[in-house]
Chain A
Amino acid sequence: MTPDSGNLDLTQKEIKEPLLSPKPKAESNWQIFSKGIILENPVLILMLGLCPVLATSTTVRDAAGMSAAVLFVLLMSNIVVSLLRKIIPSQVRIPVFIVIIATFVTIADYVLQAYTPDLYSVLGIFVPLIVVNCIILGRAEGFAYHNGVGRSILDGLGKAIGFALAIILMGSIREIIGKGTWFGMSVSPSWFRSNAVLFFGLPPGAFLVIGLLKACINKIFKREG
C-alpha cells in the first residue's frame, strides 16, 4: 500500500512558492465550506485519499468510523496549521505539517482503540495511514497555511463532509449489494442475504464501485477523463 503523498513533490527547488497558490479573489465563507462537499469533493472529483476509501468502505459502519477519524484529524490539523502559519518557516513546512497531523492521528488511533475496539480491529492499519492521507496534507498545504482559523475550520469541515459522503456512499453500495444489509440492519429479503454478491465486499468490488461512481460523476459534471 503506497502512501498517498506521492503527488507532493518534496524535492522541488522553489520551495518558497506554495504548491497551490491561494485564489486571488476572496471567497465567501459559504463557498469555502460547500466547495468540498460536491464541486471539489476530495474523493469523487479530486480523487484524493483513495486508499482508505477503497479499503474501509466494506460496510457503512467501517466507513462511518473512518469518516469520523478523518473529520477529527482534518479539522484539528487545519486549526493548528492555521494558528501556527506565521511561525512555520516555509522551508520546513511539510515536515511540520506531518508532525502536526501525526499528533492528531495518534490521538484518534488511541481513542478508537480504547473505546471502539471492534471498529479499530477492522480499520487496523488504515487509521495510522491517515497521516499520509493527501486530503489532509493537501488542505494544510493548500488552504490552512494561507488562511485564518475560521476559514480553515470551514474548509476542513467541508472537505471532511465531502470525504464522509463519498466513503459512506461507497460503503452503502458495497454493503447493500455485498451483504444485503445497511449499517448492520437487514434491508433485503432473506433469499438475497443468503446469496449476497460477496464480490462487492471484497477488494475487486471496491475498485469496480469507485470506477462506476467516477464514471457517473464525470457524466453528470460533463468532465473528461
Chain B
Amino acid sequence: MNSEVKDTRKFLVTPSPHLKAPFNVKMVMYIVVIALLPALGGSIYFFGLRSLWLVLISVATAVLAEFLMNLAFKRPLETCLDGSAIITGMLLAYNLPPTAPLWMPVVGSAFAIIIVKALFGGLGHNFLNPALAGRAFLMVSWLGKMTSGWTLREGLGTTSGIQVDAFTGATPLGVVQKLKDVADPNLTETARQALNSPETLKALFFGKVGGCVGETSVMLLLIPAIILIAIRVIDWRIPLAYIGTVALGTLIAWLFKATPVTPIFHLLSGGLMLGALFMATDYTTTPVTPLGLWIFGIGCGVLTVLIRLWGGYPEGVSYSILLMNVVTPFIDRYTRPRILGESAAKKERK
C-alpha cells in the first residue's frame, strides 16, 4: 500500500492502520501453513503418499515462481519465503484430485503466482484468490482430469454408505448431482437413504470419502480453523456467514424437496469447509468492513447453494468465492463507514 513512502525517517506519514496487530504478515502466513498441515496428514492417510507429492511439488513451484517474478520485477527477493506463496501452493494442491498428474500442480501454481499474483502487483494486490484462480484455470483447461480419480487409498475402499454400483469412485456431491438424472424412483430412494445415513455423515466428517486432496476431512480443517479464529488470525464473520447461509439455504431446499440430502450432508461434503475457512478468508480479496464481510460470506453461501442445487457442476465453492472476490471492491465501496464528523444529511445530499 505505502510503497511510495520510501524513507522519510523523521516524519513517517503512512495511511492507516496506525494500530498494529501483534502478528506480522510472515507470522500470520506461517500460522496458517501450520493450520493447514493436519488436513495434509489426513490426506496422506486417506489417499496415500501421492497427496504429499502433489502438495510438495505445488509449494515448490509456487515459491520458485514467486522468486523468479521477484527477480524479474526487481522486488525484494526474500518475500518468496514470507509464507504466502507456500499457502497458495498448498491450497492449490488441496484442490486437486489425489490422482492428478504431477504436472498439474506445477501449471496451476505457476499460473496462480505469476499471472494472478505477481503481475497484479504481488502480495496484497491480487484481485482473486490465487489458488482458486489456479484451480479455475485447471478446471477450464483439463476438466476431465480435474473431475475424476477421487479413489481412496487401497485398503480403505469406498465408503460403504454411498457405494451405489453406478457411481463408484465419485465424490458424495457427485453422487447427488448424478441423482438429478436418475429416473428410477427405487434407486433414488436407496441412494438417498444411503447418503443420509449416519455412516456416510461420519465418513464425511472424518474425511474417508472421495474428494480433492485436502478438502475431505471436515474435522481436520475445522479444529485448526477454530484455533485460528480464536487467536484472531482469521475473521469469524465470513466463515459463519458462509456456512450459515449454506445451512439455511439447503435446509429450505430440503424442506421443499429440492435436494435429496439433508443440510448436514451439504455442510460436511465438498469443499465447503476448506473454502469457507481458509480460502474465503484471504485478507487481500475480501472486504475490509465488518458489514462487507457479512455481505461477502452470505454472497458466497447463496452462490454455493445455487450452484450445488441447480448448477451444472456438483460443487460451487470455488466459483462462488471467485465471483465474490471480483465484487469485493464494490462491497468495500458501498459499505464504507461514515467518516468521523461527516453528517448523515450531507452524505445523503451527495
Contacts and interface: CB of A to CB of B under 8 A. Distances in A.
Interface of A: 195-199, 202, 204, 208, 212, 215
Shortest Cβ-Cβ A-B pairs, 8 listed: A199-B141, A198-B141, A199-B140, A197-B141, A199-B137, A202-B140, A198-B140, A204-B140
A208 B141 CA distance: 14
Nearest to A215: B119
Interface of B: 107, 115, 119, 137, 140-143
Contacts of B107: 197
Contacts of A199: 137, 140-141
A219 to B, nearest CB: 11
For A198, A199, A204, A212, which residue has the most chain B Cβ atoms within 10 angstroms? A199
Nearest to B119: A215
Majority secondary structure of chain A interface residues (helix, strand, loop or mixed): helix
Contacts of B143: 198
B283 to A, nearest CB: 25
A204 B141 CA distance: 11
Contacts of A195: 142
Given A198-B143, A199-B137, A199-B141, 13 more contacts: A195-B142, A196-B141, A197-B107, A197-B141, A198-B140, A198-B141, A198-B142, A199-B140, A202-B140, A204-B140, A208-B115, A212-B119, A215-B119
Nearest to B145: A195
For B107, B115, B141, B143, which residue has the most chain A Cβ atoms within 10 angstroms? B141
A195 B143 CA distance: 11
B226 to A, nearest CB: 36
A202 B141 CA distance: 9
Contacts of B137: 199
Contacts of A197: 107, 141
Contacts of A204: 140
Contacts of A196: 141
Majority secondary structure of chain B interface residues (helix, strand, loop or mixed): helix
For A197, A204, A212, which residue has the most chain B Cβ atoms within 10 angstroms? A197
16 contacts: A195-B142, A196-B141, A197-B107, A197-B141, A198-B140, A198-B141, A198-B142, A198-B143, A199-B137, A199-B140, A199-B141, A202-B140, A204-B140, A208-B115, A212-B119, A215-B119
Nearest to B103: A195
Contacts of B119: 212, 215
A105 B313 CA distance: 41
Contacts of A215: 119
A37 B264 CA distance: 62
A197 B115 CA distance: 15
A177 to B, nearest CB: 10
A199 B139 CA distance: 9
Nearest to B115: A208
A225 to B, nearest CB: 14
B106 to A, nearest CB: 13
A198 B143 CA distance: 9
Contacts of B140: 198-199, 202, 204
A197 B142 CA distance: 7
Contacts of A212: 119
A208 B137 CA distance: 11
A197 B119 CA distance: 20
Nearest to B107: A197
Nearest to B140: A199
A199 B140 CA distance: 6
A147 B64 CA distance: 56
B42 to A, nearest CB: 30
Contacts of B115: 208
A198 B119 CA distance: 21
A111 to B, nearest CB: 35
A195 B63 CA distance: 25
A70 B141 CA distance: 31
A222 B140 CA distance: 34
A218 B98 CA distance: 41
Contacts of B141: 196-199
A204 B321 CA distance: 18
Contacts of B142: 195, 198
A173 to B, nearest CB: 14
A143 to B, nearest CB: 35
A63 to B, nearest CB: 21
A178 to B, nearest CB: 9
B73 to A, nearest CB: 11
A212 B118 CA distance: 13
A97 to B, nearest CB: 37
Nearest to A208: B115
Nearest to A177: B141
A196 B144 CA distance: 13
A202 to B, nearest CB: 6
A13 to B, nearest CB: 29
Nearest to A198: B141
B69 to A, nearest CB: 13
A202 B107 CA distance: 17
Contacts of A208: 115
Nearest to A195: B142
Nearest to A196: B141
A212 B116 CA distance: 12
For B115, B119, B140, B142, which residue has the most chain A Cβ atoms within 10 angstroms? B140
